[in-house]
Amino acid sequence: MLNQMLYNGQYVSGLGSEIDVVNPATLDTITTFKSATPKQLDDAVKASFDSFNLWKNISDVELKFILARIGQDIKAARDEIAELITLEQGKPLELAKLEVDMGIYWLEVTNSFEIPIKENKDSLGKKIKVYHHPIGVVASITPWNWPFMIAIWHIIPALKAKNCVINKPSEYTPLSTIRLIDIINKYIPKGVCNIVLGDGEIGSNLSNHPLIEKVIFTGSTPTGQKILASSVEQFRQVTLELGGNDVAIVLEDVDIDKIAPKIFASAFFNSGQTCACIKRLYVHDQVYEGLVKKLVEIADSQIIGNGFDKMTTLGPVQNIKQYQKLKILIEKAIKNGAHIENTRKLILPDTGYFLPPLILTNVLESSEIFTTEQFGPVLPIVKFSSIEDVINNSNHSSYALGGSIWTEDINKAEKIANQMQSGTVWINSHSDVSPYAEFGGWKMSGIGSTFGLDGLLQFTKRQSIHLSE
């Protein structure tokens, strides 16, 4: 099992503090790694900087071939990587395999894009060409919820745009990302793609390093604010995919049996530990009781346990900090009058950070569990009768990552969607992002976007060339 940093083409043991990687289902220590020191981090960034001039001049044909070979190797290592994900993150093994599969799919689609040269003529007939050039060294800081897939989302577009990359994974889930960097380094020059290990302080030092030209970060809004603030002095580019408190609005004309499984899956996917999960649900009063009842039936049928158990449908919360935060949120909500609708007490393992999937009603819209991103297996539900009020109330949030409308009337849904303050709106689905469609948050949910050609081009800097005869 790989547990070291990899930079400048070499595996390197950290010289800093020791950090345990803990299995959240068993609380066993999987491995222990040593964090990078500031000097080691500086060495890694300089190695990446020194490799940029070589990498930025790679031919498009060779680059496409290299990325394709990387994808093939990931496919060959699929089961191994999935097991690492389940060990460190906790999700069921089949979901971990899906995470690897989705990473491969994103890689293949990203590799299919061609970075364009746009050509225009002005009113005087002068030709103008717009080129997209590599930025330089990109810092990638990835989270613990989808460690492998989000690393793909960061690293592959950066490489496709001919940048060098240094990744700092979450200290909770570094193992699957180390394996990814190991595969990538089989095919690229040393120093082009690197990984350093450590806690948030190492991530902060990386994002503040003077040789870093762009930071892409997926994680909490407070950390994103710090990265943005530190980027101002150097005018460093940033892409920030931050917290979401996604809303779903269910109208009165829905087929409850049809939508309930989809809503449950979109809320409790990965035990609710997904930025674009449904985190607050508005249901029209005409279908409220029926939908709540159906969601409770689905919740009460779940099997909570170790991700390696084939019967498990929902795994643990990934770490103790998040586990304790969720317990406090739920306790506060109940003290403020929220009601747990679940009728069956699910059996939880004796060890591990396990919580049952909770359906909460009688929730105040002003309560913390409704206004805050819970990031766990709990779904607060509010009844409504006026769609205008719901649109206004749902928009009254600091977060604006995603939202959804559930109805048989697609035209009505599209009109509502255009009134929602959200980077992405789904109709009759939620969370199903696409490598072809740009994805990013508004307000406190982020800056910039990823995915699609537009997302790829955010790893470039534009240059206009004016050609006069």
Q: From CA 55, how far away is CA 52, in angstroms rounded?
A: 5
pLDDT of 312 reads 99
**Arithmetic mean of pLDDT, 378-386:** 98
What's the pLDDT tens digit per position in 407-456?
Answer: 999 999 999 999 999 999 999 999 999 999 999 999 999 999 999 999 99
Predicted pLDDT at 320: 98
DSSP string of 75-132, one letter each residue = HHTHHHHHHHHHHHH---HHHHHHHHHHHHHHHHHHHH-----EEEE-TT--EEEEEE
Q: What is the DSSP letter of 51?
A: H
**β-bridge mates for residue 461, sequence order:** 133
Give percent above pLDDT 90 in the chain. 97
Active site residues: 241
Average pLDDT score over the chain:
98
Q: pLDDT > 70: what percent of the chain?
A: 100
Mean pLDDT of 307-336: 98
Q: Which tokens hold the place of 155?
A: 């690293």
CA-CA distance, 336 to 150, in Å (whole number)? 36
For the stretch 221-277, pLDDT in tens is 999 999 999 999 899 999 999 999 999 999 999 999 999 999 999 999 999 999 999
**Which tens digit of pLDDT belongs to each residue from 86-122?**
999 999 999 999 999 999 999 999 999 999 999 998 8
Provide the pLDDT for residue 123: 82
pTM: 0.97
State the pLDDT at residue 125: 82
5-242+445-467: CATH number: 3.40.605.10
Quote the pLDDT of residue 469.
77
Our separate counts of H helices and E strands in the chain read 15, 22
Mean pLDDT of 280-301: 99
Q: Where in the chain are all domains bearing CATH 3.40.605.10? A: 5-242+445-467
Model confidence over 185-237: pLDDT tens digits?
A: 999 999 999 999 999 999 999 999 999 999 999 999 999 999 999 999 899 99
How high is the pLDDT of residue 86? 99
Class of domain 247-427: alpha beta
- CATH 3.40.309.10: which residues of the chain? 247-427
Whether the predicted pLDDT of 124 surpasses 90? no
The span from the CA of 12 to the CA of 119, in Å, is: 46
The string of pLDDT tens digits covering residues 148-189 is 999 999 999 999 999 999 999 999 999 999 999 999 999 999
- The yes-or-no verdict on residue 47 having pLDDT over 80 is yes
Output phi, psi for 408, to 5 deg: -85, -15
Say what the pLDDT of residue 45 is.
99
Show the DSSP H helices in 308-439 as ranges: 320-335, 368-371, 387-395, 410-417
Which is nearest to 252 in space by CA: 280, 282, 278, 283? 283
| CB of 405 closer than 8 Å to CB of 413 | yes
